[in-house]
Amino acid sequence: MLSFNVATLLRSAPGTERRYPVEAFEMEIADDLRLAQPIEGEVRLSRAARTIVARAHLTTAIDGYCSRCLTAVVAPIDVEIEEVAIPSIDIDTGLPVSEADEPEALRLDDHHELDLGEPVREAISLAEPISLLCRPDCRGLCLVCGVDLNSATDHAHSEKTIDPRLAALAEWRDRSDSN
Ligand SMILES: [Zn+2]
Ligand SMILES: [Zn+2]
């Protein structure tokens, strides 16, 4: 679960911290983004003066594609989350807490339940890896004919058939790869 009841924590001394393991947690991310592995990690909740600070380190994986040859690959995802949550109801007085001070903060519900589902979903969808490879030395697709160079041995075209613009692109790609 990514939902935590913090009523006890709200009554503890400021600075008190609770740790919760996250194990084999499955969740829907988006229609076009599915988890390839369940979420694992740890959530740490600590009591601040009037708020709960939630930090989480979570790992999972999503389905992606090699950026060179377009083979399907599983992409590891590692996210750090830090959120401040304010009560909706004051734990001591039972009175509603004004939202005006911290409009950006998460809100606990009326039962002091903290739900990290939405921040976690958002962090995972923003953590999509920029450049994925099926293996570090993936040879990619032939720039001339599009054949997968990993499976085509000794693939070559005669010099004449190579468009100079594509040759320049290949050179540029080789340089950017070696960075
Ligand atoms: Zn590849
Ligand atoms: Zn080719």
Written as tens digits, the pLDDT of the chain (179 aa) is: 799 999 999 999 999 999 999 999 999 998 888 899 999 999 999 999 889 999 999 999 998 889 899 999 998 899 999 999 999 999 888 898 877 667 778 999 999 999 999 999 999 988 867 678 999 999 999 988 999 999 987 888 876 655 666 667 767 777 766 55
What is the predicted pLDDT for the residue at 97?
A: 86
> Among all ligands shown, which has an atom nearest to the Cα of 137?
1
Residue 84 pairs with which residues in a beta bridge? 53
Please state, in angstroms and rounded to a whole number, the distance separating the CA atoms of residues 166 and 66. 20
Whole-number Å distance, alpha carbon 69 to ligand 1 midpoint, is 4
Q: CB 117: neighbour CB atoms within 10 A?
A: 13
Handedness of CA 162, 166, 171, 173 (dihedral sign): negative
> Among all ligands shown, which has an atom nearest to the Cα of 150?
1
End-to-end CA distance of the chain: 41
> Which of 114, 109, 127, 105 shows the shortest CA–CA distance to 43?
114
Q: CB 140: neighbour CB atoms within 10 A?
A: 18
Whole-number Å distance, alpha carbon 27 to ligand 1 midpoint, is 28
What is the predicted pLDDT for the residue at 11?
A: 94
What is the predicted pLDDT for the residue at 176?
A: 65
> Among all ligands shown, which has an atom nearest to the Cα of 163?
2
Q: Is residue 103 a contact partner of residue 7, using CB atoms and an 8 Å limit? A: no
What is the predicted pLDDT for the residue at 57?
A: 97
Whole-number Å distance, alpha carbon 173 to ligand 1 midpoint, is 14
User: Which tokens is 173 given?
Assistant: 């790609």
What is the predicted pLDDT for the residue at 117?
A: 95
> Among all ligands shown, which has an atom nearest to the Cα of 73?
1
Q: Is residue 23 a contact partner of residue 40, using CB atoms and an 8 Å limit? A: yes
> Among all ligands shown, which has an atom nearest to the Cα of 67?
1
What is the predicted pLDDT for the residue at 8?
A: 95
Please state the pTM of the whole predicted model: 0.74
Whole-number Å distance, alpha carbon 140 to ligand 1 midpoint, is 5
Whole-number Å distance, alpha carbon 48 to ligand 2 midpoint, is 62
What is the predicted pLDDT for the residue at 7?
A: 95
What is the predicted pLDDT for the residue at 160?
A: 62
DSSP assignment, residue 13? P
